[in-house]
């Protein structure tokens, strides 16, 4: 045990959001400490170092926008940068702004308990260290609690086994090996593409196929680099205007306003366009109107069938239980062609489920497969999982996990009634989750910074969301979500995440009204003297 150290603000997490929040809190002249579980900065980009990990956001829309000097001096090498480059970027930012001195690494927070007598939070770290902060800001990520599948015998496997989000720092040589990958989400797709190039035999265990579309990556040449730098203002302005913080603008037409030929040509263009164009730059009704979505889904299904030589394999890769875009769309570079290679096999777990893992491989209902390595691309306990792994207790000792067990409730996706002086960057019911994260998390950070200025300047010790404000926000989040097709699909967007064992029910976890609308609502609340907040 050590003596408790006291600061004005404790930030949990030194990823993209936590680093920027640290920079801003320091500007307020407040004392601040960041507690980070990892051994260095980077969050997502520290942990996810599996082969093939890279952005699905255009690199030049992902960096911080707050410093012109930083924008000017950093050159991204590819349109969609690989993980090592992003980590290097975040390390560069950390060093440039001398952020490291306020961060405690290897500090996994186990509990945060609100003390009503002093209006502060008592925070405990795994190693026994204790901290006290007037305010806690969580920047713990929405995809930071990795989940291994609960399969009998999992620990008995004697070869290399690893979750993609816990990939070792030292090189892992899987060249020529017999490798299994379980999971075909955005991560599985990236890792399968890479391992397909080097594995002796690659076996993919797929439970649900996804609609994957081309990433369109490539190096950024000198001329393009110069153009990016010269037009950063416009690029960032576009990102501020779009629903999702990407540079792809949704088309203002409905699908029914164009001829069949025009529609097909439009889809073709978006399919070939780099990035998320087909997903978020499409007709405005494709996630509101089932019939419109069916047409788009059929287009992508045709593309999959065209690219996979074996028609039986192609059918296994074609999603049929949900519409295009209602789950996170994985972007790919030759993913479907991997299944045309002789060294690659696809096992459809809907036909032959895994029965157990053995010391030498994986048994399915029909046979046993021998492996040297098993890669778990099995995802995360998304959005609320990282909160659930910390014992967070507010007024009256009430646990946040228990409060949210019946359904997540927040005000603005940034605060929770009954949990004073707690702020959640990219928290549940925030617009940032369905967004190019840095673009939206910057907004969260800046709004929070203003709130802190307001609080500390006025000499308040405590702020808290009012129950009625939380009720209204939660209802609004649900109302908007229910207008979309997203709520009709099981995925981590809707809380029905089959990665995680337990009684998962549909949950309104994301503000789907779009980033500009969200920003306007946050600004209105601030302009009205922080309507819905009680200060004391
Ligand atoms: P995910 O989308 O949740 O995918 C997990 C995969 O594992 C799914 O295919 C799932 O099947 C499968 N799975 C889970 N448990 C299983 C079990 N017991 N048996 C068999 N299969 C099982 O996770 P992810 O791929 O790590 O991606 C999560 C999110 O991270 C993405 O949606 C994206 O937002 C983000 N991401 C971003 C990037 C990028 O920007 N480039 C890259 C990677 C990830 P079911 O679908 O049947 O549940």
Q: Which of ligand 1's atoms lies nearest the C-alpha of 80?
A: 41
Please give the Cα distance from 267 to 251 (Å, whole number).
11
Q: Which of ligand 1's atoms lies nearest the C-alpha of 143?
A: 30
Secondary structure (3-state) at 97? coil
Q: Which residues contact 402 (CB under 8 A, 6 or more apart)?
A: none
Q: Which domains does the chain have, with CATH numbers?
A: 5-41+99-145+382-474+511-535 (3.50.50.60)
pTM of whole model > 0.85? yes
HEC states along 196-228? HHHCCEEEEEECCCCCCEECCCCECCHHHHHHH
**pLDDT recorded at residue 426:** 98
Quick check: 24 and 97 in contact, CB under 8 A?
no
Please give the Cα distance from 26 to 102 (Å, whole number).
10
**pLDDT recorded at residue 505:** 73
C-alpha torsion sign, points 267, 273, 274, 276:
negative
Ligand 1 centroid–CA 340 distance in Å is 23
Mutate which of 186, 245, 280 for ligand 1 pocket (most atoms within 8 A of beta carbon): 186
Kind and range of the H or E element at 103? strand 103-104
If one counts every other C-beta atom within 10 angstroms of the C-beta of residue 535, the result is 16
Please give the Cα distance from 350 to 354 (Å, whole number).
10
Residue 302's nearest CA partner among 275, 325, 271, 347 is: 271
Please give the Cα distance from 418 to 399 (Å, whole number).
10
**pLDDT recorded at residue 503:** 52
Count of helix runs (H) and strand runs (E) in the chain = 17, 20
Ligand 1 centroid–CA 331 distance in Å is 13
Ligand 1 centroid–CA 67 distance in Å is 34
Q: Whose CA is nearest to atom 45 of ligand 1?
A: 208
Quick check: 48 and 469 in contact, CB under 8 A?
no
Q: Is 182 in the pocket of ligand 1 (CB under 6 A)?
A: yes
Quick check: 63 and 202 in contact, CB under 8 A?
no
Residue 121's nearest CA partner among 35, 223, 197 is: 35
Q: Is 498 in the pocket of ligand 1 (CB under 6 A)?
A: yes
Q: Which of ligand 1's atoms lies nearest the C-alpha of 55?
A: 41
Please give the Cα distance from 149 to 213 (Å, whole number).
26
Helices (H), 28-152: 44-47, 68-73, 83-96
pLDDT along the chain (536 residues), means of 10: 88 98 98 98 98 97 98 98 98 98 98 98 98 98 96 98 98 98 98 98 98 98 98 98 97 98 98 98 98 98 98 98 97 98 98 98 98 98 96 98 94 98 98 97 98 98 98 97 94 82 77 98 98 98
Q: Which of ligand 1's atoms lies nearest the C-alpha of 378?
A: 7
Residue 21's nearest CA partner among 432, 461, 399 is: 432
Q: Cβ-count burial of 489 within 10 angstroms (0-12 exposed, 13-18 middle, 19+ buried)? A: middle
Please give the Cα distance from 283 to 266 (Å, whole number).
9
């Amino acid at each position: 045990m050590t003596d408790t150290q006291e600061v004005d603000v404790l930030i949990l997490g030194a990823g993209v959001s936590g680093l920027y929040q640290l920079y801003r809190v320091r500007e307020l002249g407040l004392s601040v400490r960041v507690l980070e579980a990892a051994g260095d900065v980077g969050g997502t980009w520290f942990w996810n170092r599996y082969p093939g990990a890279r952005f699905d956001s255009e690199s030049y829309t992902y960096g911080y926008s707050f410093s012109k000097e930083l924008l000017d001096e950093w050159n991204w090498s590819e349109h969609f940068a690989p993980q090592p480059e992003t980590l290097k970027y975040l390390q560069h930012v950390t060093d440039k702004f001398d952020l490291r001195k306020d961060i405690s690494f290897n500090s996994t927070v186990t509990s945060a308990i609100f003390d009503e007598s002093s209006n502060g939070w008592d925070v405990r770290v795994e190693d026994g260290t204790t901290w006290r902060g007037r305010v806690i800001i969580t920047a713990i990520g929405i995809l930071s609690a990795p989940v291994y599948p609960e399969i009998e015998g999992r620990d008995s496997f004697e070869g290399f086994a690893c979750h993609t989000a816990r990939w070792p720092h030292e090189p892992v040589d899987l060249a020529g090996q017999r490798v299994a990958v379980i999971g075909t989400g955005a991560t599985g797709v990236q890792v399968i593409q890479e391992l397909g190039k080097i594995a002796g035999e690659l076996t993919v265990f797929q439970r649900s196929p996804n609609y994957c579309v081309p990433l369109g990556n490539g190096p950024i040449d000198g001329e393009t680099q110069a153009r990016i730098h010269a037009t950063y203002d416009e690029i960032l302005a576009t990102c501020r205007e779009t629903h999702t913080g990407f540079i792809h603008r949704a088309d203002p037409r409905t699908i029914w306003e164009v001829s069949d030929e025009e529609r097909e040509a439009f889809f073709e263009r978006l399919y070939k366009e780099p990035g998320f164009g087909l997903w978020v730059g499409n007709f405005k009704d494709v996630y509101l109107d089932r019939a419109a979505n069916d047409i788009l889904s059929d287009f992508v299904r045709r593309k999959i069938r065209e690219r996979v030589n074996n028609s039986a394999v192609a059918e296994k890769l074609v999603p049929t239980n949900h519409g295009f875009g209602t789950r996170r769309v994985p972007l790919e570079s030759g993913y479907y062609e991997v299944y045309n290679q002789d060294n690659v096999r696809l096992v459809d777990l809907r036909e032959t489920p895994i029965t157990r893992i053995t010391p030498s491989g994986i048994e399915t209902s029909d046979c046993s497969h021998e492996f040297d390595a098993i890669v778990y691309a099995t995802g995360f306990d998304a959005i609320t999982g990282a909160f659930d792994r910390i014992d967070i207790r507010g007024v009256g000792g009430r646990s946040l996990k228990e409060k949210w067990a019946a359904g997540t409730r927040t005000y603005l996706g940034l605060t929770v009634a009954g949990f004073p002086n707690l702020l959640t960057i990219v928290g549940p019911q925030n617009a940032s989750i369905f967004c190019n994260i840095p673009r939206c998390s910057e907004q969260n950070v800046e709004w929070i910074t203003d709130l802190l200025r307001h609080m500390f300047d006025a000499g308040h010790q405590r702020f808290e969301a009012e129950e009625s404000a939380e009720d209204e926000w939660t209802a609004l989040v649900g109302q908007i979500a229910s207008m979309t097709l997203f709520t009709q699909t099981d995925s981590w967007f809707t809380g029905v995440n089959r990665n995680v064992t337990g009684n998962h029910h549909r949950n309104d976890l994301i503000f789907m009204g779009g980033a500009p609308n969200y920003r306007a609502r946050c600004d209105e609340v601030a302009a009205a003297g922080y309507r819905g907040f009680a200060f004391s």
